Structure 1
Amino acid sequence: MTLTTSSNGAAAPGRGSRIANCLGAITCLAGALAVASVSGQPAFAAESDGAAIAANGTDAGAPACASCHGEHGEGQPEGPFPRLAGINAHYLVQQLQDFASGKRASDLMGPIAMALSDSQMNAVATYYAKQSPPKAAEPDPIDEAAITAGETLAERGDWTRGLPGCAQCHGPGGVGVGSSFPKLAGQSMEYITGQLKAWQDKQRANDPLGLMANVAFKLSDKDVTAVASYYASLPAAETTTSGENGGK
């Protein structure tokens, strides 16, 4: 589920090469999940197969997803590589299907999303949905004032601007709701910022009923930073044995 650019223009030393080495791995995860949903309710493959694909890639040349998204899907907050651990498997499948079809555009994710087999995609989706690694540390301290402002926007919204709270779809504290609204708690600041900017710039448009686009268009740059700061400050939402938070 990745369509991001860095929230700042400067790259840390060595980061460019690290990001370059990760490009294929993002695609691996996308491919590994999207096509599974083509026939509706996916019949998920053995979790052990997903673990192997995530760690080692495939014989067909798909790189290891872990090289971008972390050993257990914890993400890399210093780059545009989101946390995948504990995200609803059906949501991941849908995103990967969108990458494969081009509905969600990405030069990185698209090719491998189309290349992996259905069983490989299903296996990786199940693997990541069931993971609960510790939250990856942010590379820089998060501003407390931004966190406070972000909590207000995320939980209550701003109805003077017709802006609903993120919690109305993503659940209190960003725990996620069902297969349409993913967990945000513990996701990196850079990733959330990048996605909100992508909605604003119409680089991403695969949301249900255009809900995210309508919300993102009403956010100022300061609002984006605040909301991203708030969710990045939270611990990662707990994952149940079914791979979904709270049975939602």
Structure 2
Amino acid sequence: MNRRWDVIAASLLAAVASLAGTGSAHAQDTAQIATQGNGKGAPPCLGCHGVDGAGQAAAGFPRLAALDATYLRRQLDSFADGSRENPVMKPIATALSSEERQALANYYSHLPLPPTLAHPTAPDSRGALLATRGRWSQQVPACEQCHGPGGVGVGAAFPPLAGQSAAYITAQLKAWQQGSRHNDPLALMQHISKALDEEDIKAVAAWFAAQPLDHAETTP
């Protein structure tokens, strides 16, 4: 087994250990859902989000590792109740019990930041302006005002943008814009996304995807 798989295996064991004693959904059961599914309609999470929770950039599947547990639980609930529309995630979320959703949220929040995300590429200048200064002529604040410096995330309401792929960030901005996602606090993202054009979205998504995670907290 090479070093990468040693790191991944250690991460999974640490996550399982951290969940010991959390509710009636046992730690081992949670790891089994992540790696094998729950046998009740929910496939293994790793099929899309990777064994280390890093996601798949090319396919637009997001990073789950080290995200806030409350945020992750809210997204699973939103997929199930339709406030976040997604034809792939809706049947998966509805196939998970309330306890399983919470257990998975805790599981992924305890996984460390994947090492493959530590040194992304250089940022885009147009995206940098939107991310760090905003565009006040259209009442668009800087993204960093809510999502933190470099997009590292702030609590359960404002998730990390750094370390997510440009494809995923782009898809979410368009989902806010088109109304297929509407589980944002005070409809903030619905307003902001509608003020952005195609080039704005492409630029700001690329900028956040390029931000390093070396300085990010393990649990944003």
Q: Does 1:72 align with 2:49?
A: no
1:97 corresponding residue in structure 2: 77
Query: 1:188-240 deviations in whole A, cap 9, x for unaligned?
Result: 00000111111111221111111001110111111111110111111236343
Query: 1:79-138 deviations in whole A, cap 9, x for unaligned?
Result: 121111111110111111111112222221112211212222222111111112124599
1:112 corresponding residue in structure 2: 92
2:186 corresponding residue in structure 1: 209
Distance in 2 of aligned mates of 1:191 and 1:198: 10
Contact 2:42/2:93, CA 8 A, preserved across alignment = no
Equivalent positions of 1:26-41 (< 5 A) are: none
Distance in 2 of aligned mates of 1:44 and 1:216: 40
Contact 2:43/2:92, CA 8 A, preserved across alignment = no
Equivalent positions of 1:1-248 (< 5 A) are: 45-132=25-112, 133-136=114-117, 147-236=124-213, 238-240=216-218, 244-245=219-220
Distance in 1 of aligned mates of 2:26 and 2:126: 43
Query: 1:6-63 deviations in whole A, cap 9, x for unaligned?
Result: xxxxxxxxxxxxxxxxxxxxxxxxxxxxxxxxxxxx9595544332211111232421
Distance 1:134 1:48, change over 3 A: farther
Provide the identity percentage: 48
Distance in 1 of aligned mates of 2:152 and 2:26: 26
User: Aligned-pair distance for 1:149?
Assistant: 1.9
Query: 1:162-184 deviations in whole A, cap 9, x for unaligned?
Result: 21001111111111111111011
Distance in 1 of aligned mates of 2:137 and 2:187: 21
Count, aligned residues: 197
Distance in 1 of aligned mates of 2:24 and 2:59: 30
Distance 1:161 1:204, change over 3 A: same
Distance in 1 of aligned mates of 2:23 and 2:216: 24
Contact 2:152/2:217, CA 8 A, preserved across alignment = no
Paired residue secondary structure (1:198): helix
User: Aligned-pair distance for 1:152?
Assistant: 1.8
Distance in 1 of aligned mates of 2:93 and 2:216: 27
Give the structure-2-normalised TM-score: 0.81
Counterpart of 2:183 in structure 1: which amino acid? Answer: N
Unaligned 5+ segments in structure 1 are: 1-41
Unaligned 5+ segments in structure 2 are: 1-21
Distance 1:209 1:56, change over 3 A: same
Distance in 1 of aligned mates of 2:154 and 2:58: 27
Q: CA RMSD in A?
A: 2.3
Distance 1:44 1:201, change over 3 A: farther
